[in-house]
Amino acid sequence: MDPLDGETRTAGKHRLLARVAEGGMGRVYLATGPSGLVAVKLVHPHLLRAEGFRERFGKEVAAAREVSGPHVAAVIDADPDAADPWLATEFVLGPPLHEVIAAGPLPEHAVLRLAAGLARALQAVHRARLVHRDLKPANIILAADGPKVVDFGIAKALEDHGTALTHSGMLIGAPGYMSPEQAESGDVAPSSDVFSLGTVLTTAYTGVNPFEGRGVPQTLYNIVHTTPDLSGLPPRLRAIAAACLAHNPRARPTPGGLLATIGHHPETSWPPAVTAMTERLRVEIGGYLKGDTRVWPSGPTVVLGPRRSTPPPKVTRPPKTTPPSTVTPPLKTVPSSRAVPADPPRATVNTGIPPLSTVTTTGGTPWWQRYFGALIAGLVVLAVLIAGVVPSLADGSGGDDDHTADPTRTPTEQVAPPEHTYTQDPPRTTTRPTPTRNDIEEAETGDCFDNDGTEDAFKLVRTTCGNGTFKVADVLHGTTDPDGCATPAWRLTYRAYDLVLCLRYQHTYGGTAYNTDPGGCVYGDAEAGSTWSAYDCDIGTLSVLERLTGPSTHDDCTRYPALLDESMYFRVTGADYLNVRLCLSMKSPGELLHVRRNNCLYVTGSGTAVEGELADCDHGNAYVTGRTGRYNDTAFCDGHGWFTWRHGRRGEYSYTVCWRWR
């Protein structure tokens, strides 16, 4: 908690005592009033300028009032029409679950208690015809009388058919705790919260999120396409988590059914380390209640225990439906590390440093969870050195929103994402060796074949390697299980020889990019005739969001609209089954290419060494005031801080992002 420093001291009848958190929609304060201790959230002033914000905030308050129960933080009071809108909720004494997990995983009895409490909390949420949509450790407080769920700021009313509380194309929720349908930007139902609960329980016991990937796209891909290895969980917890994490929403239990699965468990207290965290908070709060605004020491580090080892997620395979021809088309898999081709494209980070201003910083990230903050997800967080200037603070108060410049510039409109098509003619005529009965049996990695058959019934004929052929990526001897092909490949099973051939098609222009999985990165010049390649995911490369096979259009790239920049379509004349479309997102410093006004940033450094990255508003210390697609357009920012970047080869990828301290 931090003492108040020139901030508002009251909200309605509530007296603010200390600042405990800052989220995407506002600051959260410890306060006291007619109902005793409460948590008051004051909305950020800059958000009030957004069209329709007050109406959305009013809807969120009304939705939150409908939720009640022993395991949810109740709404006490609110005034969405005040000059500075605010919301007061029950103050829950206890540490947030994410801080507890950071100190070490919970034992089984504590996770069972957590599971029962969260199931009852979801019952209360769903009774109010709501879906929470952001159930995660930061929104769960371990109170002495059980877990309590907070933050209904992005809850969605089931009967609100026409008015979304969020913008179209944005993923809502913490990426690692989304359900598969939520990760794919689909409609969510109460069963989505149950999947999130399963992830929370697994993380609480192991200390590691089972779906966490190299970035947001990989994390979302893991949620949709992989099944976590739950073998490290005790049998009782494993059964609970497995039921919650069913990919089919209809196969998941209801909260009531989950309580039946959990069954009876003794009402034990939290581990001593959790109690110690709570007591430390109690002492700190007591100081503020007495008017003592000293900065209290954090106390000794609390450790619950070592993290339990968790195997990486395994790829979920669909039921085996190998056709009579025993041709298995390519499957998407979790990408493996890739070798970097020679001379990969390197984007140039251009700099422009105007006169520096004084840097004023606030304290470190507080312990408290945010209330009613919307997490901007589907965006990768990268720490990269980029050009910028620290914004001047006219009043020297650490970034209060009273700068004379207009901090609400409208982002430059972006043109429709480009679509590039590269067509390969039918395979060239080659001189083929006379095939023998042993061509398949003696096939080795690196051999090449033509397909004289069809998509469903391959007829392989050995040929010299080149574009338009199928190259053997692997030969699996002693098995007829095609799942052993770990790369995006055509998988042909030959029972007579007890082997499987894993084949990769060689596209003239697709190069190594043609066979790249989601989560990998590629690059090629936009001009027709250039060959594309797979690369390490450096700044200036294009991250693969989706890999679509068969005929498709750019409009079929629907999974991550907020990240989509362009698509690449590799066609094969007369063989539509070999067509591949890569839906792509440009990798930029700190993912600032994809920011929008009011997104949160995490800014570090000073002087000429300032770094900025898109951040969860739980941890961001700055926000975006405007964005233009022009490079080095510092005048656009009109005295605010700025970051600017331009791609070294493709100038259409450029930006100037304006920002201010929060």
Return the CATH number at 42. 3.30.200.20
Contact call for residues 487 and 473 (beta carbons, < 8 A):
yes
> Which of 2, 77, 134, 151 is flagged as catalytic?
134
Query: Over 50: is that where the pLDDT of 361 sits?
Result: no
Q: What is the pLDDT of residues 49-59, one digit of tens each?
A: 777 788 878 88
Per-chain mean pLDDT for the chain: 74
Per-residue pLDDT at 216: 77
Range 237-248 average pLDDT: 93
Q: How many other CB atoms are there within 10 angstroms of residue 65's CB atom?
A: 15
The DSSP annotation for 176-198 comes to GG--HHHHTT----HHHHHHHHH
In terms of pLDDT, which residue wins out, 170 or 280?
A: 280
Per-residue pLDDT at 387: 33
Domain membership of residue 8 as a residue range? 2-91
Q: How confident is the model at residue 423 (pLDDT cuts 50, 70, 90)?
A: low
State what percent of residues in the chain have pLDDT above 70: 71
71 and 149 together in one domain: no
Picking from 157-166, 172-181, 364-373, 476-485, which range would have the lowest pLDDT averaged per residue? 364-373
Closest to 592 in 3D by CA, of 641, 532, 548 = 641
Cα Rg for the chain, rounded, in angstroms? 27
38 and 11 together in one domain: yes
Range 166-172 average pLDDT: 43
67 and 208 together in one domain: no
State what percent of residues in the chain have pLDDT above 90: 22
Helix (H, G, I), strand (E, B) or coil at 128: coil
Q: CA torsion sign, 66 to 70 to 72 to 76? A: positive
Per-residue pLDDT at 391: 31
Single residue among 274, 299, 316 that ends a domain in this structure: 274
Q: Is residue 323 part of a domain?
A: no
Distant-in-sequence, close-in-space partners of 100: CB < 8 Å, separation ≥ 6: 106, 137, 142, 273, 274, 277, 304
Helix (H, G, I), strand (E, B) or coil at 321: coil
Contact call for residues 313 and 334 (beta carbons, < 8 A):
yes
Looking at the structure of the chain, the number of domains it has is 3
Among 31-45, 310-324, 397-411, the range of highest mean pLDDT? 31-45
The DSSP annotation for 500-557 comes to EEEEEE--TTTGGGTTPPTT-EEE--SSTTPPPEEE---TTSEEEEEEEESS--GGG-
Contact call for residues 493 and 528 (beta carbons, < 8 A):
no
142 and 226 together in one domain: yes
Query: Over 70: is that where the pLDDT of 314 sits?
Result: no
Picking from 60-64, 287-291, 325-329, 383-387, which range would have the lowest pLDDT averaged per residue? 383-387
Single residue among 240, 274, 308 that ends a domain in this structure: 274
Picking from 254-268, 320-334, 408-422, 486-500, which range would have the lowest pLDDT averaged per residue? 320-334
In terms of pLDDT, which residue wins out, 333 or 39?
A: 39
Picking from 89-103, 131-145, 368-382, 552-566, which range would have the lowest pLDDT averaged per residue? 368-382
Is 134 one of the annotated active-site residues of the chain?
yes
Single residue among 274, 305, 338 that ends a domain in this structure: 274
Among 39-48, 135-144, 373-382, 393-402, the range of highest mean pLDDT? 135-144
Q: How confident is the model at residue 427 (pLDDT cuts 50, 70, 90)?
A: very low
Interior CA angle at 475 toward 471 and 478, to 5°?
160
Per-residue pLDDT at 252: 92
The conformation of residue 561, written as its DSSP 8-state character, comes to T
Per-residue pLDDT at 488: 64
Helix (H, G, I), strand (E, B) or coil at 480: coil
Residues in the chain: 662
Query: Over 90: is that where the pLDDT of 206 sits?
Result: yes
Largest Cα–Cα distance of the chain, in whole Å? Answer: 93
Q: Is residue 633 part of a domain?
A: yes
111 and 249 together in one domain: yes
Contact call for residues 141 and 117 (beta carbons, < 8 A):
no
Q: Is residue 395 part of a domain?
A: yes
Q: Is residue 233 part of a domain?
A: yes
Q: Is residue 432 part of a domain?
A: no
Picking from 156-165, 207-216, 261-270, 366-375, which range would have the lowest pLDDT averaged per residue? 366-375
Among 160-164, 181-185, 349-353, the range of highest mean pLDDT? 181-185
84 and 108 together in one domain: no
Query: Over 80: is that where the pLDDT of 129 sits?
Result: yes
Range 18-30 average pLDDT: 78
58 and 162 together in one domain: no
Distant-in-sequence, close-in-space partners of 52: CB < 8 Å, separation ≥ 6: none
In terms of pLDDT, which residue wins out, 365 or 92?
A: 92
Range 267-277 average pLDDT: 85
Picking from 6-20, 154-168, 330-344, which range would have the lowest pLDDT averaged per residue? 330-344
Query: CA-CA distance, 210 to 311, in Å (whole number)?
Result: 9
Query: Over 50: is that where the pLDDT of 494 sits?
Result: yes
Closest to 384 in 3D by CA, of 597, 607, 538 = 538
145 and 219 together in one domain: yes
Q: Is residue 186 part of a domain?
A: yes
Query: Over 80: is that where the pLDDT of 87 sits?
Result: yes
Query: Over 90: is that where the pLDDT of 179 sits?
Result: yes
101 and 247 together in one domain: yes
Which residues share a beta bridge with 548?
581
Query: CA-CA distance, 128 to 286, in Å (whole number)?
Result: 35
In terms of pLDDT, which residue wins out, 329 or 463?
A: 463
Contact call for residues 422 and 566 (beta carbons, < 8 A):
no
31 and 126 together in one domain: no
Q: Is residue 471 part of a domain?
A: no
Q: How confident is the model at residue 363 (pLDDT cuts 50, 70, 90)?
A: very low
Query: Over 80: is that where the pLDDT of 438 sits?
Result: no
126 and 244 together in one domain: yes
Contact call for residues 502 and 449 (beta carbons, < 8 A):
no
Q: What is the pLDDT of residues 113-127, one digit of tens each?
A: 999 999 999 999 988
82 and 117 together in one domain: no
Q: What is the pLDDT of residues 576-587, one digit of tens each?
A: 889 999 999 999
Q: How confident is the model at residue 344 (pLDDT cuts 50, 70, 90)?
A: very low
Per-residue pLDDT at 280: 86
What's 205's domain CATH number?
1.10.510.10
Q: Is residue 20 part of a domain?
A: yes
